[in-house]
Every structure is written in structure tokens, then in C-alpha cells.
A and B are shown apart, each in its own frame.
Chain A
Amino acid sequence: DTGVSQNPRHKITKRGQNVTFRCDPISEHNRLYWYRQTLGQGPEFLTYFQNEAQLEKSRLLSDRFSAERPKGSFSTLEIQRTEQGDSAMYLCASTWTEGYTFGSGTRLTVV
């Protein structure tokens, strides 16, 4: 499979728990992006990496959100002390130049 892979596809967690999502981009792509999408809305930018460098993180929603891309390959997005408002679809995308390839997303439900 040469697409962008996201795991897990679905995650249900209790409020206050920490969750981590993983994204495996297309191997040749040096840029990796995280977006959040709530129901009926367009995706909202969170952060992005060029190789292993996180070049923009001011849009992360709070200090409970963090992302890593340790070796410039896969990336993880962690949400600490989850809240019900964190329930959303979390999308990862990668690109080499322009035109993103998106993964299928991780749907998070906080109960």
C-alpha cells in the first residue's frame, strides 16, 4: 500500500485519558501535516513537519496537543487529558511539493 496510513481508525476513550495516533506517510514525501475535522466542517490545520523538523505548531489547539516525527518518517499526535471537545476526526496528510495525499483519518470519541 503506497498511500498514507493512519492508526487506529477509531478510538473511544474516557475523558481525562491520553491518546496517541500514528501516521505513516508516503515514503518519498518529506512534508507531513496534521489536521482536525469536526462534523460538517472543513479540516483545520494543526501542525506540520518537514522531515523531522516541526515547522509550525502554533495552531495546535492547546498545550495538551503535541506531535512528533522522530526520524522524519512516521509521526505521532498525542492528546493528553482528553476532553469531550476533542472528539473529532484527526487527519494526516503528506506531500513532496503540492497536492496533499490524505490518510483515512482517526476518529476520536471522548466519552
Chain B
Amino acid sequence: SQQGEEDPQALSIQEGENATMNCSYKTSINNLQWYRQNSGRGLVHLILIRSNEREKHSGRLRVTLDTSKKSSSLLITASRAADTASYFCATDGNAGNMLTFGGGTRLMVKP
């Protein structure tokens, strides 16, 4: 079963716009991670935010975490066509035992 729910399921934007994806989860977590997956390929780790952190940045990525609402958001600024992919949030409830993934957001960035 999947813990997280991503919202929206699909997002289409123009190059240069910002893309925001949201993730909700159900149980307590140790950390939350975001991954990217190009069609038919493996997942690439983007960013990890710990349960005691509220915001984290990495290049054009900004992640927020609200443990009281059990939710996270991923913001991609100044999007590029190459950002077209599926984005998944994943929660780690016990520091390394396993990740529980959401269903993903399919992002399309039009040139």
C-alpha cells in the first residue's frame, strides 16, 4: 500500500514557469524524500528533508515539510523542458528500513 498521495496527479506548464507539487502522508516519519523518474527509467534522488526541518533548498528546488499537517511540497522554479518527468515523494518512517512512495505527479514542461 502507498502512504503518500501526490497532488496534482498531472501538471502541464510552460517553460520558465514554476511547478508546485504536493504530497500528503499518513503516519509519523523520520524523513521525507523527493525523487524524479524519467519515463521507463529508475528514480533519481532529488532532496531529503528531515522531520525536524521545515524548508530545504537545492538549486532550483525548494521543499517544505509541515509535520502537523503531514504534508510536503516541492517547488521547481524557472522550469525547463528537461524537467519533464514524474516526481514522487517517499517517506522513511524508521531511518532506513524502507521508503513508502506516493503515486507521483506527472509534470510536463512545454518549450
Residues of chain A at the chain B interface (Cβ within 8 Å): 4, 6, 31, 33, 35, 40-45, 48, 55-56, 59, 89, 91, 93, 95, 97-105, 107
Contacts and interface: CB of A to CB of B under 8 A. Distances in A.
Contacts of A43: 43, 88, 99, 101
Contacts of A95: 96
Contact of A100 (B41, B99, B104): B99
B41 A105 contact: yes
Contact of B98 (A6, A56, A102): A56
Contacts of A35: 101
Interface of B: 2, 4, 31, 33, 35, 40-45, 48, 88, 90, 92, 95-104
Contacts of B35: 102
Contacts of A59: 98
Contacts of A105: 41-42
Nearest to A31: B96
Contacts of B43: 43, 91, 93, 100, 102
B106 to A, nearest CB: 9
A42 B87 CA distance: 9
B2 A42 contact: yes
Contact of A42 (B48, B88, B98): B88
A103 B45 CA distance: 11
21 contacts: A31-B96, A33-B98, A33-B99, A40-B104, A42-B4, A42-B88, A42-B90, A42-B101, A43-B99, A44-B101, A45-B99, A95-B96, A97-B96, A98-B96, A100-B45, A100-B99, A101-B45, A102-B43, A102-B45, A103-B42, A107-B40
A99 B96 contact: no
